[in-house]
Chain A
Amino acid sequence: MKGIIISGDFENICIRKKSSTFIELGELMIAENNKGKVLLQVFNLAFGSQLSQQQLEFISGLKIEESNDLKLMDQNLRNYNLAFAKSLLFIENDVARACKTLPGFFSEVREVRSEDLKFLSKPENALCLGDLRSGSQVLDFPLFVDGKKVFSHHVLISGTTGRGKSVLMNNILWGVLWDDYCGLLVLDPHDEYYGKAKFGLKNHPNARRKLVYYSQNNVPIGERTLKINIKLLKPKHFQGVVYWSDAQSQALQSYYKEHKEEWIESIVLEKPLQVSFHEATLSVLKRIILNLLNLSVVENKIQCKGVFDLTVGETTIKDITNDLKNKKTVIINTNNFNSQVELLIGSIISHELFSESKENNDTTISIVLEEAPRVLGKSVLEKGNNIFATIAREGRKFNIGLTAITQLPSLIPREILANLNTKILLGTELKQERQALIESAAQDLSKDDRNIASLDKGEAIITSTFTKFAIPVKIPFFSEEMKKEEKINKNFEEMT
């Protein structure tokens, strides 16, 4: 027994703590009544005393100034701790439903046990997000969500630097590689998931079958060099990447209309247009395209120095979308690119993916976006819409979702934030950021501000339309010891 309920109301149940026990913020507890169990979560702690404030001050003075050995008679009866909890769920015969009742007055409160949580059964397409946590105590109870549902309805991973966003993402990607329920596109600006020089997703037993890694340079053995043929580019791919003036935008469209897939070459080589545009407009257009695509013109011939190429990479985008539809995880190392090129690559793939998903959306696909406000931020969207915002708004109809990672969720418009139906909250110090999360959460987190602020490294709260309550979890460390490699049979016949 941890304590007993002594007062309060539905949202604020006051528990007197038993002196010999320990209660923490965020801790899950069970209070029983004659019908079933009420799952409670502590959101605040306070001191309680039978003595008046004046008496307490006097006694403390005696202890400091006169005798340190001074002890109160029946100390545990006179001074104690109070815990304030909210009702999360009512559990009756292992079935959980919204709580609409109070636990009994003076009813005992105890710690939560695995058998209380049988209602958290393993769903179809189970994706493990960590172990259930009660306060800072990790329970031997892995928490699963339905990955297919969660990914198609968008995910937000939020937390301050160093709180475990990357570890969580690594665990999620590792978990997804075990199953065949979704494709994930990861634009990885820090090249941190594949594990080029350390343990990473490349070490997953299913990596050869299910992981595809693209990089521009120093491509690991067996992985793919990222090359995109410039013929695959369309004007719409630049939306949200370059902010064209009206004249530039019209010139761009005219080039595309007249020169079809050779429109980029035509701009760069200054081929004539039937519609006339101001020389300066075309010149700016050419300069932007040359810089962005890392092209140059020598003796009226285009030279390609970067990812975008004239001859190779004709099937790259189709190959990526096909892999995603085949439920693979595609990681694109964007480490060497500036932010604009990275967004352009993401935009090209996302546009094509979205178009294809409108035709056929059998497979759930999620696009993992690091530093999401770069494309979903209020200031960015004020300048014009982009494909990522479109996917955030409409994607779930077509089974395509976003997994947005950020430490500044408040920069994302409320309307989009509310569309991200699963939020994984890691420690967030800034009040403004916590507020944005609380206001857009799937469950009522109005009393959890302190709880979120106090989340330690690796501790998270999952709030989702697909969970019955905001679930506290501990994200396991991502290491080689935890993920053992599988041996692969080898066969060299016919070559020896």
Chain B
Amino acid sequence: MKFAHMADCHLGGWREPKLKELNNKSFCYVIDYCVKEKIDFVLIAGDLFNTALPDMESLQVCIKQLKKLKDNNIPVYFIAGSHDFSPSGKTMLSIIEDAGLGFNVAKGEVVENKLKLKFTIDEKTKVKITGIIGKRGGLDVQYYQELLREDLEKEEGYKIFMFHCALNEFKPKGFENIEGMNVSYFPKFFDYYAGGHVHVLQKNSLEAYPNIIYPGPVFPNSFSELEKLKHGSFAMVENNEVKHIPVKFHETLSYRIDCDNKSVEQVKQELKEITNTDLSDCIVTIKLKGTLSSGKPSDINFTEIMNNLLEKKAFVVLKNTSQLQSKDFEEIKIKSENVEDVESAVIKEHLDQQAFGQEFTQKIMQALSTEKQEGEKSADFEKRVIEDVEKMINN
């Protein structure tokens, strides 16, 4: 038996056109690899798309690739992740399922106020697959808290559990502030735990929980991920042997410049030195950090510097100056670069002044933060948002 496990494709996630295209290209590469290797099935553990209703271009790429898998008799099993989940249930994932291009395995029923999950059985291999969707702000924990585990654990045969959340025991250093779940919430004795959400490559196990795998994102989804991961990846599983397969089209070169006590001229000089490296076809990331001894960040002509780097045939150049400051602005401290974290912190801070809880607030915010999609009429968009919110209020 041979299957592929990918997660966090985040199709449509990048705004930068070249990286957006590269993201799509990485996804296509994984699917083509699966077809070439004639694998039995594909698992997508959440966040196939970056939003519940993705842009047409990403959608087109995705549908084409999923069709390719279908034509080659390779079924796709997926769960919704924190990005492509929608409280109304109106997501592109449900359309994919309706079109017969994939199976949502996060299905269950309520039995005596508990959640009973159903297995989806792969016809060819008889592998039994189930899972739980991921939701923002760790709101999926309730499903785990009320999960009926006994039947799942007793079920015979090769079993796969799909999840989309961070696991506290395996959180890497630097992920301390990410909301995580304890492994003990999972049903025991599955053969493979297919994870997503945390963009890391991990292969772990704990007592009664073998093969807890994070495949990494198919393509890095942010500046810091490009710095850290350099390229995308997925997991290939053959006879229970797990291998992380890299998805790499370009070298990623990351530069970090410590600007503490340096003048603008000194920083410019250091930036200039980057051009001495062979940057051909490379993704270049430059992070500037610290407090300048004189001058302001705006005194550095980044456009010119980036153009110079592109002239050196760099594939794409990205800069991050969020932690660069001049002495005049030293008192400004950025606590978090992540919008969701800031939102969560604000909600928590004002919880006692609200009539409703954190979960409800986050759900409402999530529903209201949805964007009008390409081709969607304003009236339809308005109607969709109202319906989503109404549904939540009535529940």
Q: Which residues of A contact B (CB under 8 A)?
A: 208, 217, 219-225, 227, 231, 311-316, 318-319, 322, 490-496
Contacts and interface: CB of A to CB of B under 8 A. Distances in A.
A322 B176 contact: yes
Contacts of A313: 169
Q: Which of B85, B133, B173 has the most CB of A within 10 A?
A: B173
A217 B169 CA distance: 13
Contact of B183 (A225, A311, A322): A225
B115 A492 contact: yes
Nearest to A322: B176
Interface string B81-105: 0000101010000000000000000
A153 to B, nearest CB: 28
B356 to A, nearest CB: 12
Nearest to A219: B184
B315 interface: no
Contacts of B204: 311-312
Contacts of B182: 219, 222-225
Interface residues of B, number: 36
**Residue of B109, B113, B177, B182 contacting most chain A CB atoms (<10 Å):** B182
Interface in B60-118: 85, 87, 89, 106-110, 113, 115
Contacts of A494: 85, 87, 89, 133, 135
B168 A495 contact: no
B95 to A, nearest CB: 16
Contact of A491 (B133, B142, B184): B142
Given A224-B184, A490-B146, A491-B395, A312 B207 contact: no
A314 B108 contact: no
A222 B185 contact: yes
Contacts of A318: 176
B110 A496 contact: yes
A221 B114 CA distance: 14
B168 A315 contact: yes
A121 B107 CA distance: 55
Contacts of A224: 168-169, 182-184
Contacts of A220: 184
B145 A319 contact: no
A495 B176 CA distance: 28
Contacts of A225: 169, 182-184, 206-207
B133 A495 contact: yes
B184 A223 contact: yes
Interface in B166-223: 168-173, 175-177, 182-185, 204, 206-207
A148 to B, nearest CB: 18
B165 interface: no
Given A222-B185, A494-B85, A494-B133, 15 more contacts: A219-B182, A219-B183, A221-B184, A222-B184, A224-B168, A224-B169, A225-B182, A312-B169, A315-B171, A315-B172, A490-B146, A491-B395, A495-B106, A495-B115, A496-B115
Interface of B: 85, 87, 89, 106-110, 113, 115, 132-133, 135, 142-146, 149, 168-173, 175-177, 182-185, 204, 206-207, 395
A315 B177 CA distance: 9
Contact of B169 (A227, A231, A322, A490): A227
A208 B142 CA distance: 11
B157 to A, nearest CB: 23
A208 B132 CA distance: 20
A312 B146 contact: no
Contacts of B106: 495
A495 B185 contact: no
8 contacts: A222-B144, A225-B182, A231-B173, A312-B170, A315-B171, A492-B115, A494-B87, A494-B135
A492 B207 CA distance: 29
B177 to A, nearest CB: 8
A222 B173 CA distance: 22
A493 B206 CA distance: 30
B102 to A, nearest CB: 17
A313 B204 CA distance: 11
A37 to B, nearest CB: 41
Interchain residue pairs A-B with the least CB separation, the first 6: A318-B176, A219-B184, A224-B182, A315-B171, A314-B173, A315-B176
A221 B135 CA distance: 20
B207 A496 contact: no
Contacts of A223: 182, 184
Given A222-B185, A223-B184, A314-B173, A319 B110 contact: no
A224 to B, nearest CB: 4
Given A221-B184, A495-B132, A490 B168 contact: no
B93 to A, nearest CB: 12
B359 to A, nearest CB: 9
B172 A495 contact: no
Contacts of A319: 168, 171, 176
